[in-house]
Homo-oligomer: A and B are copies of this chain.
Amino acid sequence: MITGKNYIGNQLSASGNKTFKTFNPLLNIENQWEITEASKDEVDQASELAAEAFKTYSKISGAKKAEFLRAIADEIEALGDDLLQVYSAESGLPNGRAMGERGRTLGQLRAFASHVENGNWVDASIDTAQPDRKPLPKVDLRKMNVPLGPVVVFGASNFPFAFSTAGGDTAAALAAGCPVIVKSHPMHAATGEMVSGAVVNAAKKTGMPNGVFSNLNSSGIEVGQQLVKHPKVKAVGFTGSIRGGRALYDLAAKREEPIPVFAEMGSINPVVILPEALKNRAETIAKTYSASITLGTGQFCTNPGLIIGLKSEGLTNFVNTLAKEIVKVEPSCMLHPNIAGAYESNKKKALSQNGLKVLASYTGEVETNYARQVVTTVEGDTFLNNPTLHHEVFGPFSIVVQCESEQQLESIISNLEGQLTGTVISDDNEIASYSNIVSALQNRVGRIIFNGVPTGVEVCPSMLHGGPYPASTDSRFTAVGVDSIKRFVRPFSFQDWPNNLLPDELKNENPLGISRLVNNKKTNQKI
Protein backbone atom coordinates (compact mmCIF):
# COMPACT_ATOMS: atom_id res chain seq x y z
CA MET A 1 0.00 0.00 0.00
CA ILE A 2 2.87 2.41 0.77
CA THR A 3 5.05 2.72 -2.33
CA GLY A 4 7.46 5.43 -1.19
CA LYS A 5 6.75 7.31 -4.42
CA ASN A 6 5.79 10.92 -5.06
CA TYR A 7 2.44 12.03 -6.42
CA ILE A 8 2.82 14.28 -9.46
CA GLY A 9 -0.84 15.14 -9.74
CA ASN A 10 -2.69 11.84 -9.93
CA GLN A 11 0.39 9.83 -10.93
CA LEU A 12 2.76 7.98 -8.64
CA SER A 13 6.29 8.77 -9.72
CA ALA A 14 9.79 7.92 -8.51
CA SER A 15 12.29 8.94 -11.16
CA GLY A 16 14.93 9.98 -8.60
CA ASN A 17 17.59 7.71 -7.16
CA LYS A 18 17.90 9.04 -3.60
CA THR A 19 15.96 7.13 -0.98
CA PHE A 20 15.47 7.40 2.76
CA LYS A 21 13.51 5.77 5.58
CA THR A 22 11.41 7.19 8.36
CA PHE A 23 11.98 6.33 12.00
CA ASN A 24 9.95 4.85 14.82
CA PRO A 25 11.13 6.72 17.94
CA LEU A 26 9.25 4.45 20.35
CA LEU A 27 10.92 1.30 19.06
CA ASN A 28 14.08 3.24 18.16
CA ILE A 29 14.30 1.54 14.78
CA GLU A 30 13.91 2.61 11.14
CA ASN A 31 10.55 1.96 9.57
CA GLN A 32 10.38 -0.50 6.70
CA TRP A 33 9.20 1.81 3.88
CA GLU A 34 11.75 3.03 1.39
CA ILE A 35 10.86 6.58 0.37
CA THR A 36 12.13 7.99 -2.94
CA GLU A 37 13.08 11.63 -2.96
CA ALA A 38 11.60 13.80 -5.71
CA SER A 39 14.00 14.70 -8.53
CA LYS A 40 14.44 18.17 -9.96
CA ASP A 41 12.39 17.03 -12.95
CA GLU A 42 9.56 15.93 -10.72
CA VAL A 43 9.58 19.28 -8.93
CA ASP A 44 9.25 21.00 -12.32
CA GLN A 45 6.52 18.61 -13.47
CA ALA A 46 4.46 19.12 -10.32
CA SER A 47 4.83 22.92 -10.57
CA GLU A 48 3.91 23.08 -14.26
CA LEU A 49 0.97 20.74 -13.72
CA ALA A 50 -0.25 22.87 -10.81
CA ALA A 51 -0.08 26.01 -12.98
CA GLU A 52 -2.06 24.23 -15.68
CA ALA A 53 -4.62 22.99 -13.14
CA PHE A 54 -4.93 26.54 -11.79
CA LYS A 55 -6.46 27.68 -15.08
CA THR A 56 -9.58 25.62 -14.42
CA TYR A 57 -9.43 25.08 -10.65
CA SER A 58 -9.28 28.84 -9.97
CA LYS A 59 -12.70 29.19 -11.60
CA ILE A 60 -14.76 26.27 -10.34
CA SER A 61 -17.68 27.01 -8.08
CA GLY A 62 -17.60 27.09 -4.30
CA ALA A 63 -20.01 24.18 -4.28
CA LYS A 64 -17.60 22.02 -6.30
CA LYS A 65 -14.66 22.97 -4.06
CA ALA A 66 -16.76 22.07 -1.01
CA GLU A 67 -17.52 18.67 -2.56
CA PHE A 68 -13.79 18.09 -3.13
CA LEU A 69 -12.82 19.10 0.43
CA ARG A 70 -15.51 16.88 1.96
CA ALA A 71 -14.43 13.99 -0.26
CA ILE A 72 -10.85 14.41 1.03
CA ALA A 73 -12.13 14.16 4.61
CA ASP A 74 -14.17 11.06 3.73
CA GLU A 75 -11.27 9.39 1.98
CA ILE A 76 -8.94 10.03 4.93
CA GLU A 77 -11.54 8.64 7.29
CA ALA A 78 -11.89 5.57 5.06
CA LEU A 79 -8.21 4.75 5.59
CA GLY A 80 -9.22 3.81 9.14
CA ASP A 81 -6.83 2.31 11.65
CA ASP A 82 -4.14 1.55 9.08
CA LEU A 83 -3.47 5.26 8.79
CA LEU A 84 -3.38 5.75 12.57
CA GLN A 85 -0.85 2.96 12.93
CA VAL A 86 1.49 4.44 10.32
CA TYR A 87 1.09 7.86 11.99
CA SER A 88 2.14 6.43 15.36
CA ALA A 89 4.98 4.43 13.82
CA GLU A 90 6.40 7.63 12.32
CA SER A 91 5.87 9.98 15.27
CA GLY A 92 5.82 7.99 18.47
CA LEU A 93 2.54 9.72 19.27
CA PRO A 94 -0.08 7.52 20.94
CA ASN A 95 -3.27 6.27 19.27
CA GLY A 96 -5.49 8.66 21.25
CA ARG A 97 -3.56 11.65 19.93
CA ALA A 98 -3.66 10.20 16.41
CA MET A 99 -7.45 9.92 16.62
CA GLY A 100 -7.82 13.39 18.08
CA GLU A 101 -5.58 14.96 15.46
CA ARG A 102 -7.34 13.11 12.66
CA GLY A 103 -10.68 14.41 13.97
CA ARG A 104 -9.32 17.93 13.95
CA THR A 105 -8.00 17.52 10.41
CA LEU A 106 -11.33 16.22 9.11
CA GLY A 107 -13.06 19.05 10.98
CA GLN A 108 -10.81 21.62 9.30
CA LEU A 109 -11.45 20.22 5.83
CA ARG A 110 -15.20 20.24 6.41
CA ALA A 111 -15.13 23.70 7.97
CA PHE A 112 -13.42 25.08 4.85
CA ALA A 113 -15.98 23.27 2.70
CA SER A 114 -18.79 25.07 4.52
CA HIS A 115 -16.87 28.34 4.42
CA VAL A 116 -16.47 28.46 0.63
CA GLU A 117 -19.67 26.66 -0.32
CA ASN A 118 -21.92 29.70 -0.54
CA GLY A 119 -19.53 32.43 -1.72
CA ASN A 120 -19.93 34.93 1.12
CA TRP A 121 -16.22 34.55 1.86
CA VAL A 122 -15.09 36.37 -1.33
CA ASP A 123 -15.97 39.80 0.18
CA ALA A 124 -17.94 40.83 -2.88
CA SER A 125 -18.20 44.59 -3.28
CA ILE A 126 -20.10 46.47 -5.98
CA ASP A 127 -20.17 50.18 -6.83
CA THR A 128 -22.63 50.80 -9.62
CA ALA A 129 -22.07 53.33 -12.40
CA GLN A 130 -23.23 56.95 -12.26
CA PRO A 131 -23.04 58.03 -15.90
CA ASP A 132 -24.40 61.50 -15.08
CA ARG A 133 -22.04 62.29 -12.21
CA LYS A 134 -20.29 65.70 -12.45
CA PRO A 135 -17.55 66.61 -13.19
CA LEU A 136 -16.77 63.05 -14.32
CA PRO A 137 -19.06 60.04 -14.83
CA LYS A 138 -18.52 57.16 -12.39
CA VAL A 139 -17.69 53.74 -13.80
CA ASP A 140 -19.13 50.44 -12.54
CA LEU A 141 -16.62 48.63 -10.29
CA ARG A 142 -16.98 45.17 -8.74
CA LYS A 143 -14.41 43.50 -6.53
CA MET A 144 -13.94 40.04 -5.04
CA ASN A 145 -11.20 37.74 -3.79
CA VAL A 146 -9.56 35.46 -6.35
CA PRO A 147 -6.92 32.75 -5.75
CA LEU A 148 -3.19 33.58 -5.98
CA GLY A 149 -1.95 30.51 -7.87
CA PRO A 150 -0.11 27.29 -6.96
CA VAL A 151 0.79 27.08 -3.24
CA VAL A 152 3.61 25.03 -1.71
CA VAL A 153 2.89 23.57 1.72
CA PHE A 154 5.66 22.36 4.01
CA GLY A 155 4.39 19.71 6.43
CA ALA A 156 5.11 20.20 10.15
CA SER A 157 7.01 17.64 12.24
CA ASN A 158 4.69 17.96 15.23
CA PHE A 159 1.32 17.67 13.48
CA PRO A 160 1.56 14.85 10.92
CA PHE A 161 -2.15 15.25 10.15
CA ALA A 162 -3.41 18.69 11.16
CA PHE A 163 -0.50 20.76 9.76
CA SER A 164 0.84 18.52 7.06
CA THR A 165 -0.34 16.84 3.84
CA ALA A 166 -4.06 17.65 4.09
CA GLY A 167 -3.79 19.92 7.11
CA GLY A 168 -4.76 23.53 7.69
CA ASP A 169 -2.55 25.15 5.02
CA THR A 170 -3.57 22.66 2.32
CA ALA A 171 -7.27 22.93 3.17
CA ALA A 172 -7.08 26.74 3.15
CA ALA A 173 -5.26 26.89 -0.20
CA LEU A 174 -7.56 24.37 -1.89
CA ALA A 175 -10.60 26.18 -0.51
CA ALA A 176 -9.24 29.45 -1.95
CA GLY A 177 -8.94 27.89 -5.41
CA CYS A 178 -5.16 27.33 -5.37
CA PRO A 179 -3.58 24.01 -6.42
CA VAL A 180 -1.26 22.63 -3.71
CA ILE A 181 2.15 21.01 -3.89
CA VAL A 182 3.06 19.44 -0.55
CA LYS A 183 6.72 19.15 0.41
CA SER A 184 6.15 16.11 2.60
CA HIS A 185 7.81 16.12 6.02
CA PRO A 186 10.63 13.54 5.97
CA MET A 187 9.78 12.29 9.45
CA HIS A 188 6.36 11.04 8.35
CA ALA A 189 6.61 10.46 4.62
CA ALA A 190 4.58 7.24 4.67
CA THR A 191 1.74 8.92 6.56
CA GLY A 192 2.02 11.67 3.96
CA GLU A 193 1.76 9.23 1.08
CA MET A 194 -1.36 7.61 2.54
CA VAL A 195 -3.06 10.97 3.08
CA SER A 196 -1.96 12.08 -0.41
CA GLY A 197 -3.59 8.97 -1.85
CA ALA A 198 -6.81 10.03 -0.15
CA VAL A 199 -6.56 13.55 -1.63
CA VAL A 200 -5.86 12.17 -5.11
CA ASN A 201 -8.81 9.76 -4.87
CA ALA A 202 -11.05 12.62 -3.80
CA ALA A 203 -9.79 14.78 -6.69
CA LYS A 204 -10.53 12.01 -9.20
CA LYS A 205 -13.96 11.23 -7.75
CA THR A 206 -15.07 14.86 -7.79
CA GLY A 207 -13.62 15.62 -11.23
CA MET A 208 -10.86 18.03 -10.20
CA PRO A 209 -8.14 18.85 -12.76
CA ASN A 210 -5.01 16.72 -12.64
CA GLY A 211 -2.33 18.68 -10.79
CA VAL A 212 -4.64 20.26 -8.24
CA PHE A 213 -2.56 18.32 -5.70
CA SER A 214 0.94 16.86 -5.69
CA ASN A 215 3.08 15.39 -2.92
CA LEU A 216 6.87 15.41 -3.09
CA ASN A 217 9.26 13.54 -0.80
CA SER A 218 12.62 14.74 0.36
CA SER A 219 14.93 14.25 3.29
CA GLY A 220 17.04 17.35 2.64
CA ILE A 221 16.45 20.97 1.73
CA GLU A 222 16.88 20.90 -2.08
CA VAL A 223 13.32 19.97 -3.06
CA GLY A 224 11.90 22.69 -0.82
CA GLN A 225 14.29 25.28 -2.21
CA GLN A 226 13.50 24.35 -5.78
CA LEU A 227 9.79 24.65 -5.07
CA VAL A 228 10.05 28.05 -3.40
CA LYS A 229 12.15 29.36 -6.29
CA HIS A 230 9.91 27.95 -9.02
CA PRO A 231 8.34 30.78 -11.08
CA LYS A 232 4.96 29.01 -11.22
CA VAL A 233 4.68 28.89 -7.41
CA LYS A 234 2.85 31.91 -5.97
CA ALA A 235 2.78 31.39 -2.17
CA VAL A 236 4.24 29.18 0.56
CA GLY A 237 2.83 27.82 3.83
CA PHE A 238 5.27 26.49 6.42
CA THR A 239 5.15 25.34 10.03
CA GLY A 240 8.45 24.67 11.78
CA SER A 241 11.62 26.23 13.11
CA ILE A 242 12.66 29.87 12.87
CA ARG A 243 15.79 28.86 10.99
CA GLY A 244 13.82 26.87 8.42
CA GLY A 245 11.03 29.41 8.02
CA ARG A 246 13.42 32.33 7.71
CA ALA A 247 15.49 30.52 5.08
CA LEU A 248 12.38 30.03 2.94
CA TYR A 249 11.28 33.61 3.54
CA ASP A 250 14.69 34.89 2.42
CA LEU A 251 14.64 32.68 -0.66
CA ALA A 252 11.16 33.89 -1.65
CA ALA A 253 12.08 37.54 -1.05
CA LYS A 254 15.08 37.22 -3.40
CA ARG A 255 13.03 35.89 -6.32
CA GLU A 256 12.63 38.08 -9.38
CA GLU A 257 8.94 38.03 -8.44
CA PRO A 258 8.88 37.85 -4.62
CA ILE A 259 6.08 35.70 -3.19
CA PRO A 260 4.51 35.59 0.28
CA VAL A 261 5.76 32.99 2.76
CA PHE A 262 3.49 32.24 5.69
CA ALA A 263 5.78 30.61 8.22
CA GLU A 264 4.49 29.78 11.68
CA MET A 265 7.68 29.40 13.66
CA GLY A 266 9.01 29.54 17.21
CA SER A 267 7.48 30.98 20.34
CA ILE A 268 8.15 30.79 24.08
CA ASN A 269 4.63 31.99 24.96
CA PRO A 270 5.23 34.20 28.00
CA VAL A 271 2.98 33.77 31.04
CA VAL A 272 2.73 36.62 33.55
CA ILE A 273 1.44 35.68 37.01
CA LEU A 274 0.23 38.72 38.94
CA PRO A 275 0.89 39.12 42.70
CA GLU A 276 -2.59 38.49 44.12
CA ALA A 277 -2.99 35.34 42.04
CA LEU A 278 0.39 34.16 43.34
CA LYS A 279 -0.61 34.99 46.89
CA ASN A 280 -3.96 33.20 46.75
CA ARG A 281 -3.39 30.17 44.54
CA ALA A 282 0.29 29.60 43.75
CA GLU A 283 -0.04 25.84 44.20
CA THR A 284 -3.01 25.41 41.87
CA ILE A 285 -1.34 27.48 39.18
CA ALA A 286 1.88 25.50 39.53
CA LYS A 287 0.00 22.22 39.09
CA THR A 288 -1.80 23.52 36.00
CA TYR A 289 1.46 24.71 34.47
CA SER A 290 3.32 21.54 35.28
CA ALA A 291 0.79 19.79 33.06
CA SER A 292 0.90 22.44 30.32
CA ILE A 293 4.72 22.45 30.13
CA THR A 294 4.87 18.67 29.66
CA LEU A 295 1.77 18.28 27.45
CA GLY A 296 2.66 16.32 24.31
CA THR A 297 6.30 16.16 25.51
CA GLY A 298 6.42 19.96 25.22
CA GLN A 299 6.17 19.71 21.45
CA PHE A 300 3.37 22.23 20.90
CA CYS A 301 4.18 25.62 19.40
CA THR A 302 2.12 27.17 22.22
CA ASN A 303 4.12 25.47 24.96
CA PRO A 304 4.70 27.87 27.91
CA GLY A 305 8.48 28.31 27.90
CA LEU A 306 8.56 31.47 29.99
CA ILE A 307 6.79 32.28 33.26
CA ILE A 308 7.26 35.70 34.84
CA GLY A 309 6.33 36.98 38.27
CA LEU A 310 7.27 39.57 40.86
CA LYS A 311 9.43 38.31 43.72
CA SER A 312 7.20 37.46 46.67
CA GLU A 313 6.26 34.69 49.03
CA GLY A 314 3.66 33.68 46.49
CA LEU A 315 6.24 33.34 43.72
CA THR A 316 8.44 31.25 46.01
CA ASN A 317 5.46 28.99 46.71
CA PHE A 318 4.79 28.73 43.00
CA VAL A 319 8.37 27.86 42.21
CA ASN A 320 8.55 25.25 44.95
CA THR A 321 5.30 23.61 43.94
CA LEU A 322 6.22 23.62 40.26
CA ALA A 323 9.52 21.93 41.15
CA LYS A 324 7.68 19.27 43.13
CA GLU A 325 4.98 18.68 40.54
CA ILE A 326 7.05 18.64 37.37
CA VAL A 327 9.11 15.62 38.44
CA LYS A 328 5.94 13.61 39.05
CA VAL A 329 5.12 13.71 35.35
CA GLU A 330 6.06 10.54 33.51
CA PRO A 331 8.44 11.43 30.62
CA SER A 332 7.27 10.61 27.12
CA CYS A 333 8.72 9.98 23.70
CA MET A 334 9.75 12.77 21.32
CA LEU A 335 8.87 12.72 17.62
CA HIS A 336 12.27 11.67 16.31
CA PRO A 337 15.84 11.08 17.51
CA ASN A 338 16.85 14.36 15.83
CA ILE A 339 14.25 16.25 17.81
CA ALA A 340 15.26 14.51 21.03
CA GLY A 341 18.88 15.35 20.21
CA ALA A 342 18.05 19.00 19.51
CA TYR A 343 16.17 19.17 22.80
CA GLU A 344 19.20 17.91 24.67
CA SER A 345 21.60 20.34 23.02
CA ASN A 346 19.31 23.38 23.26
CA LYS A 347 18.65 22.55 26.92
CA LYS A 348 22.37 22.23 27.53
CA LYS A 349 23.03 25.58 25.89
CA ALA A 350 20.36 27.28 27.99
CA LEU A 351 21.59 25.65 31.19
CA SER A 352 25.14 26.82 30.50
CA GLN A 353 24.03 30.48 30.60
CA ASN A 354 25.17 32.45 33.63
CA GLY A 355 22.53 32.78 36.30
CA LEU A 356 20.06 30.18 35.02
CA LYS A 357 19.37 27.72 37.86
CA VAL A 358 17.64 24.37 37.63
CA LEU A 359 14.56 24.25 39.84
CA ALA A 360 13.79 20.66 39.11
CA SER A 361 14.64 18.11 36.48
CA TYR A 362 13.42 14.59 35.90
CA THR A 363 16.42 12.41 36.69
CA GLY A 364 15.03 8.90 36.50
CA GLU A 365 15.91 6.39 33.83
CA VAL A 366 14.04 6.91 30.54
CA GLU A 367 13.79 5.06 27.24
CA THR A 368 15.76 6.28 24.23
CA ASN A 369 14.17 9.34 22.55
CA TYR A 370 12.22 10.22 25.69
CA ALA A 371 12.57 13.77 27.01
CA ARG A 372 13.38 14.60 30.62
CA GLN A 373 11.49 17.74 31.61
CA VAL A 374 13.30 20.65 33.26
CA VAL A 375 12.11 23.84 34.94
CA THR A 376 14.59 26.60 35.68
CA THR A 377 14.67 30.03 37.27
CA VAL A 378 16.56 33.26 36.72
CA GLU A 379 16.71 36.83 38.01
CA GLY A 380 14.91 39.50 36.00
CA ASP A 381 17.97 41.50 34.97
CA THR A 382 19.91 38.39 34.00
CA PHE A 383 17.09 37.34 31.69
CA LEU A 384 16.70 40.83 30.29
CA ASN A 385 20.34 41.03 29.33
CA ASN A 386 20.78 37.59 27.81
CA PRO A 387 18.89 37.09 24.50
CA THR A 388 19.98 33.43 24.41
CA LEU A 389 17.48 32.81 27.20
CA HIS A 390 14.72 34.28 25.00
CA HIS A 391 15.05 31.47 22.45
CA GLU A 392 12.72 28.50 22.33
CA VAL A 393 13.92 25.15 23.68
CA PHE A 394 11.51 22.86 21.79
CA GLY A 395 10.42 20.31 24.39
CA PRO A 396 9.31 20.18 28.06
CA PHE A 397 11.47 23.09 29.25
CA SER A 398 10.50 26.31 30.97
CA ILE A 399 12.13 29.31 32.67
CA VAL A 400 10.61 31.13 35.65
CA VAL A 401 11.82 34.75 35.73
CA GLN A 402 11.74 36.38 39.15
CA CYS A 403 11.42 40.16 38.76
CA GLU A 404 12.38 42.94 41.16
CA SER A 405 9.71 45.39 40.04
CA GLU A 406 6.79 46.06 37.74
CA GLN A 407 9.08 48.24 35.64
CA GLN A 408 11.48 45.36 35.16
CA LEU A 409 8.63 43.03 34.28
CA GLU A 410 7.30 45.46 31.68
CA SER A 411 10.77 45.94 30.30
CA ILE A 412 11.26 42.18 29.94
CA ILE A 413 8.02 41.86 28.01
CA SER A 414 8.72 44.85 25.78
CA ASN A 415 12.08 43.35 24.85
CA LEU A 416 10.76 39.92 23.90
CA GLU A 417 10.60 38.89 20.26
CA GLY A 418 7.13 38.37 18.75
CA GLN A 419 5.12 35.51 20.25
CA LEU A 420 2.12 33.40 19.30
CA THR A 421 0.52 33.86 22.70
CA GLY A 422 0.79 35.75 25.97
CA THR A 423 -1.03 34.76 29.15
CA VAL A 424 -1.95 36.74 32.24
CA ILE A 425 -2.81 34.88 35.43
CA SER A 426 -4.70 37.26 37.65
CA ASP A 427 -7.15 37.47 40.48
CA ASP A 428 -10.44 38.90 39.32
CA ASN A 429 -9.83 42.64 39.63
CA GLU A 430 -6.09 42.72 39.92
CA ILE A 431 -5.35 42.93 36.19
CA ALA A 432 -6.86 46.42 35.87
CA SER A 433 -3.91 47.80 37.87
CA TYR A 434 -1.39 46.42 35.38
CA SER A 435 -2.46 48.05 32.14
CA ASN A 436 1.12 48.92 31.13
CA ILE A 437 2.17 45.31 31.40
CA VAL A 438 -0.91 44.10 29.55
CA SER A 439 -0.35 46.68 26.77
CA ALA A 440 3.27 45.67 26.41
CA LEU A 441 2.23 42.02 26.19
CA GLN A 442 -0.50 42.72 23.62
CA ASN A 443 2.07 44.45 21.46
CA ARG A 444 4.27 41.33 21.37
CA VAL A 445 1.72 38.55 20.75
CA GLY A 446 -1.05 37.35 18.43
CA ARG A 447 -3.38 36.04 21.13
CA ILE A 448 -3.70 37.04 24.76
CA ILE A 449 -5.17 34.67 27.36
CA PHE A 450 -6.73 35.38 30.74
CA ASN A 451 -6.32 32.77 33.48
CA GLY A 452 -5.67 29.83 31.21
CA VAL A 453 -2.85 27.98 29.52
CA PRO A 454 -1.54 28.74 26.02
CA THR A 455 -1.58 25.09 24.94
CA GLY A 456 -4.80 24.21 23.11
CA VAL A 457 -5.59 26.08 19.87
CA GLU A 458 -9.33 26.15 19.26
CA VAL A 459 -10.25 25.97 15.55
CA CYS A 460 -12.87 28.70 15.19
CA PRO A 461 -13.34 32.00 13.33
CA SER A 462 -12.13 34.13 16.26
CA MET A 463 -8.82 32.27 16.66
CA LEU A 464 -5.65 34.10 15.67
CA HIS A 465 -2.75 31.70 15.43
CA GLY A 466 0.26 33.74 14.40
CA GLY A 467 1.89 36.85 15.78
CA PRO A 468 4.67 39.40 15.35
CA TYR A 469 7.93 38.04 13.90
CA PRO A 470 9.36 35.50 14.59
CA ALA A 471 6.16 33.86 15.82
CA SER A 472 5.19 34.14 12.18
CA THR A 473 6.57 35.86 9.09
CA ASP A 474 3.34 37.79 8.55
CA SER A 475 1.38 38.87 11.62
CA ARG A 476 -1.49 40.03 9.41
CA PHE A 477 -2.78 36.49 8.89
CA THR A 478 -3.81 33.51 11.00
CA ALA A 479 -2.64 29.95 10.34
CA VAL A 480 -5.64 28.39 12.13
CA GLY A 481 -9.35 28.86 11.42
CA VAL A 482 -11.23 29.69 8.25
CA ASP A 483 -9.73 33.18 8.00
CA SER A 484 -6.44 31.50 7.10
CA ILE A 485 -7.89 31.31 3.57
CA LYS A 486 -7.10 35.04 3.28
CA ARG A 487 -3.41 34.21 2.93
CA PHE A 488 -3.99 32.70 -0.49
CA VAL A 489 -6.24 35.21 -2.23
CA ARG A 490 -5.98 38.68 -3.68
CA PRO A 491 -8.78 41.14 -4.35
CA PHE A 492 -9.57 41.72 -8.02
CA SER A 493 -11.64 44.48 -9.68
CA PHE A 494 -13.84 44.32 -12.76
CA GLN A 495 -14.59 47.70 -14.35
CA ASP A 496 -17.70 48.06 -16.55
CA TRP A 497 -17.53 44.30 -17.14
CA PRO A 498 -20.46 42.65 -19.00
CA ASN A 499 -22.87 41.17 -16.47
CA ASN A 500 -23.04 37.76 -18.15
CA LEU A 501 -19.25 37.38 -18.03
CA LEU A 502 -18.87 38.30 -14.36
CA PRO A 503 -18.34 35.55 -11.77
CA ASP A 504 -21.65 34.56 -10.13
CA GLU A 505 -20.59 36.34 -6.94
CA LEU A 506 -20.70 39.71 -8.74
CA LYS A 507 -23.63 39.32 -11.17
CA ASN A 508 -26.58 41.73 -10.89
CA GLU A 509 -28.97 38.85 -10.17
CA ASN A 510 -26.88 37.68 -7.18
CA PRO A 511 -27.58 34.05 -8.16
CA LEU A 512 -25.74 32.74 -5.08
CA GLY A 513 -27.81 34.93 -2.76
CA ILE A 514 -24.70 36.06 -0.92
CA SER A 515 -24.14 39.13 1.24
CA ARG A 516 -22.43 41.90 -0.74
CA LEU A 517 -21.37 45.49 -0.16
CA VAL A 518 -23.45 47.35 -2.76
CA ASN A 519 -22.81 51.10 -2.97
CA ASN A 520 -21.40 50.90 0.55
CA LYS A 521 -24.39 49.02 2.09
CA LYS A 522 -24.38 45.32 3.01
CA THR A 523 -27.21 43.48 1.29
CA ASN A 524 -28.08 40.09 -0.17
CA GLN A 525 -30.50 41.60 -2.66
CA LYS A 526 -30.09 41.62 -6.42
CA ILE A 527 -29.25 44.85 -8.25
Contacts and interface: CB of A to CB of B under 8 A. Distances in A.
A141 B463 contact: yes
Contacts of A494: 447-448, 450
Interface in A28-80: 55, 59
A125 B461 contact: yes
Contacts of A492: 442, 446-448, 464
A520 B127 contact: no
Nearest to A486: B476
A496 to B, nearest CB: 5
Interface residues of A, number: 70
A497 B421 CA distance: 13
A417 B231 CA distance: 12
Interface stretch (A183-191, A401-409, A452-460): A452-460
Given A141-B463, A476-B490, A490-B475, A448 B127 contact: no
Contacts of A498: 428, 431, 450
Contacts of A456: 136, 139
Interface stretch (A210-218, A253-261, A271-279, A316-324): A253-261
Contacts of A520: 461
Interface in A417-475: 417-418, 428, 431-432, 438-439, 442-443, 446-452, 456, 458, 460-464, 468-470, 473-475
A143 interface: yes
Given A127-B461, A127-B462, A495 B148 contact: no
A492 B439 CA distance: 13
Contacts of A59: 439
A148 B512 CA distance: 35
A81 interface: no
B493 A463 contact: yes
A1 interface: no
A496 B462 contact: no
A428 B432 CA distance: 65
A522 interface: yes
A127 B496 contact: no
A498 B442 CA distance: 15
A511 B480 CA distance: 29
Contacts of A462: 125-127, 141-143, 493, 517
Contact of A258 (B126, B138, B249): B249
A515 interface: yes
Contact of A260 (B450, B476, B495): B476
A250 interface: yes
A483 interface: yes
Nearest to A250: B253
A341 interface: no
Nearest to A418: B257
B253 A461 contact: no
A439 B51 CA distance: 13
B493 A476 contact: no
A489 interface: yes
A450 to B, nearest CB: 5
A478 interface: yes
A35 to B, nearest CB: 33
Given A462-B127, A520-B461, A449 B148 contact: no
A447 to B, nearest CB: 4
Interface string A360-402: 0000000000000000000000000000000000000000000
B258 A469 contact: yes
Nearest to A235: B476
B431 A501 contact: yes
Contact of A253 (B138, B253, B483, B500): B253
Contacts of A450: 494-498
A491 interface: yes
Interface of A: 55, 59, 125-127, 136, 138-139, 141-143, 146, 148-149, 249-250, 253, 257-258, 260, 417-418, 428, 431-432, 438-439, 442-443, 446-452, 456, 458, 460-464, 468-470, 473-478, 483, 486, 489-498, 500-501, 515, 517, 520, 522
Please name the 3 residue pairs, one residue from A and one from B, whose CB atoms are nearest each other, closest first. A253-B253, A464-B493, A141-B462
25 contacts: A126-B462, A138-B460, A139-B452, A139-B458, A141-B462, A141-B463, A143-B462, A143-B464, A253-B253, A257-B469, A428-B498, A431-B501, A438-B501, A446-B490, A446-B493, A447-B492, A447-B494, A448-B493, A448-B494, A449-B496, A450-B495, A461-B517, A463-B493, A476-B486, A477-B491
Given A55-B439, A476-B486, 5 more contacts: A257-B468, A448-B494, A450-B498, A476-B489, A477-B491
